[in-house]
Amino acid sequence: MDFDQLSKKYRNIKSPAEQLSDATKDAGKANNIFEKIKKHDTYSKKQSKQFYIITSIAAVVYVLIFIVNPDPDLTLKNRLAGSAFILASVILAFLFKIKHKRISNTMYLSSTKKFLEEAQKRFRFWNRNQLWLIPVVLLVDVASLGSISKYFDFLSQTSSVILSQFLYFGLLAFGFFMGKKSWTKKKKPILLKIEKMLAAFDEQ
């Protein structure tokens, strides 16, 4: 090894003070990520509890209006639409309850790696638990189809259904776009840092 190679090699070796400084910076970054995760979890836990209460109350109200209600003006179509709303509300209430319980359980995780793995699942834009949203979307679509299409009675039945579907799924697409935009801004940066920290665990 010539002098230039030897010089280059030892220039890359950091002093103990520099190594300690780097370790302190890394620890500070890790603590910052954990604080962000905990802050988000606190907000999500509170929000999921609120939505669980709201959707549970909505399910009870729909049962009273569309099932228990003896009003003879309520047609079979109205009751079926109400039943779809009830099922959608029950599924949503179940999902929010599961989410609240999962976040609460993360507080008792003693393993840092396990904590990060659970956070990684929650910070992803899409996960398997969200597949339950598909029947919710379809149930709400079926339930709202009649109530929306009646406002287009100046059109033929086929045109009315097509227009109402266009409006419904158009709103869903807009909501999806806004949700993805919010996730990209708020959660994706944290997710990338979580994945980087998990990769460091795997390298050890």
pLDDT tens, N- to C-terminus, the chain (204 residues): 444 554 444 444 444 444 444 444 455 566 788 888 888 888 999 999 999 999 999 999 999 988 898 888 888 888 888 899 999 999 999 999 998 988 888 766 667 888 888 889 889 988 887 888 899 999 988 888 766 655 666 666 677 777 778 888 999 999 999 999 999 998 999 999 999 888 887 766
Question: Which of the 8 DSSP states describes residue 70?
Answer: -
pLDDT at site 97: 93
Both tokens assigned to 32: 């910052």
pLDDT at site 7: 45
* Exposed e or buried b per residue across 136-156, where buried means at least 16 C-beta atoms within 10 angstroms of its C-beta: beebbbbbbbeebbeebeeee
**Cα–Cα dist 114/128, whole Å:** 19
pLDDT at site 24: 44
Residue 63 burial (10 A CB sphere; 0-12, 13-18, 19+):
middle
pLDDT at site 28: 54
Q: Which of 167, 133, 132 is nearest to 147 (CA)?
A: 167
pTM over 0.85: no
pLDDT at site 173: 93
